[in-house]
Amino acid sequence: MRILTFVGADCYNKSGGSESPTTSIAILPAFPFSNTRNKFFGIGCDTIALISGVDLHGKTYSTGCLSLCNDTGSVTNGSCNGIGCCQIPIPGNLLRYSATVTSFKNHTDIWESNPCGFSFLAEEESFNFTIANLTSIKNTTRLPSSIDWAIGNQTCEEAKKDLTGYVCKANSDCYDSSNAPGYLCNCSAGYIGNPYLPDGCQDVDECKDSNLNKCLKKCHNTIGNYTCPCPKGYHGDGRKDGEGCSADQLLVVKIFVGVGTSVIVLVAILEDCIAKEGNVEQVDKVARLGKTCLRVKGEERPTMKEVAMELERLRMMGKHPWTNVESNYEQTEYLFGKQIDAFGHGKSGESSAGYQVLGSVLLPSGGR
């Protein structure tokens, strides 16, 4: 919550005479000034800024800061370091205060460029000091300040014991006020809206805005959250800030030939680098070879010898680095022999004597 608070001023004429100084005073009935969002400021090249106040518990305090400079050339825009501008934090639970401003030499040494000094309490993000403030702020009578308001005077734990008076609605969280009695409500993570209204906190679709999700590729919205599914053939959490997506490690092709007689198991162990280095075509050829072995008609299936020859040919191709270059793949096939074209001409009688189980066939990558 914001309110406007007055600016205290202390101005002088060229001869050093005072011109109607003003004091900034603010009194709040219940909610204190925020000690995290507000600061106390002093502006001027001959300025003593003072503030005194009372907190929620009746305790008093007084403090201040000095702002000095010989000329405006030593002042830096945006810098409130005591040269032309000073700032200090305020204590918590501050309910009322009085801010005054005085000077050492009535601004006589700097009057041409800075005839006035100023003091005020204001929201830090609403006030950005510039050299022009040394004179122009004289025309500003009020600045925004932030107030810490809260519900009641109970903690969250106490308020939840009586739900009839508890005001945090569905999909919201309760947290205790840090600067005053009472509690506050916020929409839970993944929701946005007004936590004090029924159904006031609505689901945020993080997938509609790439700034709201950490997905590498796909994004799937869920109530109050989202997931990042990996594409088919990949596993992981799919997140930029997580493990991402990695190619599946194992591709197992089981081929059953005949009726309970011979079994061929072709196992291709795939590493991520295979897909990256262009060996996907080799894997595809092994898969197609397995498909021919599943043909129902025995005369259309390749013989075990033909299968072994084709697997050996693929293994030899994998040993040579030029097979990783897509444009040379057909030339490599020519060097190591064409694919077996006579898969439909094998005799069903040529079963698996000596070739019943081919075991594991490794597809190496990059000649390794």
CATH number at residue 210: 2.10.25
DSSP E strands in the chain: the ranges are: 2-6, 8-11, 24-27, 38-44, 46-55, 60-68, 84-88, 94-102, 116-123, 142-146, 172-176, 183-187, 191-193, 201-203, 220-222, 225-227, 234-236, 245-247, 250-257, 262-269
Q: Is residue 356 part of a domain?
A: no
> 256 and 170: one domain?
no
341 lies in some domain: no
Question: Does 19 fall in a domain?
Answer: yes
160: burial class by Cβ within 10 Å (0-12, 13-18, 19+)? middle
User: Is the same domain home to 215 and 278?
Assistant: no
Gap between the Cα atoms of 318 and 313, Å rounded = 9
Question: Which residue matches tokens 């259309």?
Answer: 300
Judge whether 229 lies within some domain: yes
Given 179, 214, 247, which residue is the final one in a domain? 247
- Selection from 184, 166, 142, 168 nearest residue 24 by Cα: 142
For residues 24 and 120, the answer to whether their CB atoms sit within 8 Å is yes
Same domain as 10, residue 142: yes
Question: What is the structure's pLDDT at 288?
Answer: 73
Q: How far apart are CA 228 and CA 206, in angstroms?
A: 11
Is residue 68 located within the same domain as residue 172?
no
Whether residues 225 and 312 share a domain: the answer is: no
Task: Report the number of distinct structural domains present in the chain.
Answer: 4
Judgement on whether residues 38 and 110 belong to the same structural domain of the protein: yes
- Residue 307 pLDDT: 73
Q: Does 368 fall in a domain?
A: no
Helix (H) / strand (E) element for 290: namely helix 280-293
9 and 142 in a single domain? The answer is yes
Packing angle, helices 304-318 and 280-293, rounded to 10: 180
Residues 191 and 321 in one domain: no
Could you tell me the residue range of the domain that residue 167 belongs to?
Answer: 156-203
Q: Are residues 17 and 139 in the same domain?
A: yes
What's the pLDDT at 128? 92
Are 6 and 142 within one domain? yes
- Cα-Cα-Cα-Cα dihedral sign, residues 158, 164, 168, 170: positive
Per the domain annotation, does 346 fall within a domain?
Answer: no
193 and 284 belong to one structural domain: no
Which SS3 state, helix, strand or coil, does residue 344 take?
A: coil
pLDDT at 116: 92
Is 129 contained in some domain? yes
pLDDT score of 67: 94
- Please report whether residue 76 resides in a domain: yes
The sign of the dihedral angle between the CA atoms of 188, 194, 196, 198 is: negative
- Give, as one character, the DSSP assignment of residue 2: E
User: Are 96 and 135 found together in one domain?
Assistant: yes
The pLDDT profile of the chain, 368 residues, written as one tens digit per residue, is 889 999 999 999 988 888 888 889 898 887 899 999 999 999 999 999 999 999 988 999 999 999 999 888 889 998 899 999 999 999 988 999 999 999 999 999 999 889 999 999 999 999 999 998 888 777 788 899 999 988 988 999 999 999 889 999 999 999 998 887 899 999 999 999 999 999 999 999 999 999 999 999 899 999 999 999 999 888 899 999 999 998 886 544 444 444 333 334 444 444 444 444 445 566 667 767 666 766 545 666 777 777 778 777 776 765 555 444 444 545 545 554 544 444 444 444 444 333 333 334 444 444 44
